[in-house]
Amino acid sequence: MKITITKNENDFDITAAWRIIAQMFEKPNSVIGLSTGQTTIGMHSVVSKIHAQYPFDVSKITLFNVDELTNLPREYFGSCYTMIKTQLAAPLGILEENFIMPPTMSDDFEKEAKLFEQRLAERGGADLQMLGIGMNGHIGINQPGTPFESETWVSPMDPDFEARVRRETRVPDDVVLGGLTRGIKNIMHTRKLILIAKGKRKAEIIKQAILGPVTTDIPASVVQLHPNCEILLDAEAASLIVDKI
């Protein structure tokens, strides 16, 4: 497990962006998993700006997001589809057929979860996953207590996480939210993981996930077992581990 600490948030965004671009250069038909949220907006912007200034071929790149909110229109600005489309897929000119996402509304999400994984498998599986970490250690929307052998599914929403999602995306109170997420088993089968975090508020959970025991109580701790994982942090997120690594 490699740990990279950048000196500030700006350097974090640039470093994370180049991890994505490097994967595209290394394998022009890469299947790349992304995450949404405050951690990733800056890095996506940097990728888009570099591509605009120095265009490179992304015609065979496949993008997907590790999770998606359910029971909202796909066009809703808070859906993962719309966020990734706006932040990265559209600016890079990624073809719609190369942007793989589960639907936000369905009568059979179990079927959609299997179809999502099938479509990724048909592309050869995920090469890279930029993986955010929640304040309670969740990855994707796999909340504490999720078995490590879980496969892609619709996870119940942690109350605190749901409240934050509703606040940040202004989801109406009468909408029953869910989260279709790649399971921990699926995430761990990705060829390369980069666990990303920035900001002081992530420092404590990073310490627990990286230096603590591997436990389902902190789903992100499972990345300690991945054979090709990098932990990418800014100085604030790394503040509680710098003297312990």
What are 22-72's pLDDT values in tens digits? 999 999 999 999 999 999 999 999 999 999 999 999 999 999 999 999 988
**Cβ(188)–Cβ(222) below 8 Å:** yes
Res. 204: pLDDT tops 90? yes
Exposure string for 79-114, b = 16+ CB within 10 A, e = fewer:
bbbbbbbebbbebbebeeebbbbbebebeebeebbe
Pairwise CA distance, residues 188 & 193, whole Å: 8
- CATH of 2-216 among 3.50.50.60, 3.30.930.10, 3.40.50.1360, 3.40.50.300: 3.40.50.1360
pLDDT of residue 178: 86
Q: Any idea which residue has 């009568």 for tokens?
A: 107
pTM of the model: 0.95
Q: How high is the mean pLDDT of the chain?
A: 95
For 118, the token pair is 């099938």
Question: Could you tell me the end-to-end alpha-carbon distance of the chain, in angstroms, rounded to an integer?
Answer: 11
pLDDT of residue 15: 98
